[in-house]
Amino acid sequence: MSDDRHSRISEEAYKLWEKEGQPQGRHLDHWTEAERQLNEGEGNRTAARAYNRKTKEFAESGPVEKQAKQAKADLESPKGEELKKAEAKGRSKARGEDPQISRSDSR
């Protein structure tokens, strides 16, 4: 382990120890939690794995076809325009755009 990585884990473990009230005998717990947090990084791999697993379970559970047909019917119904607007709003946020910033249409 590099000295830099060791130092970062040590600092994070110390912060966890302080946050928990400086308990005795929990140094290994704090160290492993600090390691886990640093390994997660900016993109939370644990959350991504859980999401992928749940998505696969849902797809394999059977109701996908029925729900896809219902979604199509909803899009073709009077509430379809509202759903399309909500989708566009969600997609704009997914691209990292800040909805609080207004932009001109001059693009």
Domain ranges (residues) in the chain = 3-40, 45-89
Mean pLDDT lowest among 17-21, 36-40, 42-46:
42-46
Average pLDDT over residues 25-54: 83
Q: Residue 36 pLDDT > 60, yes or no?
A: yes
Q: Residue 29 pLDDT > 60, yes or no?
A: yes
Q: What does pTM read for this prediction?
A: 0.40
Q: What was the pLDDT predicted at 89? A: 85
Ranges 21-35, 59-73, 88-102, most confident = 21-35
Q: Residue 47 pLDDT > 70, yes or no?
A: yes
- Burial (Cβ within 10 Å: 0-12, 13-18, ≥19) of residue 72: exposed
Percentages helix, strand, coil for the chain, rounded to the nearest 5? 70, 0, 30
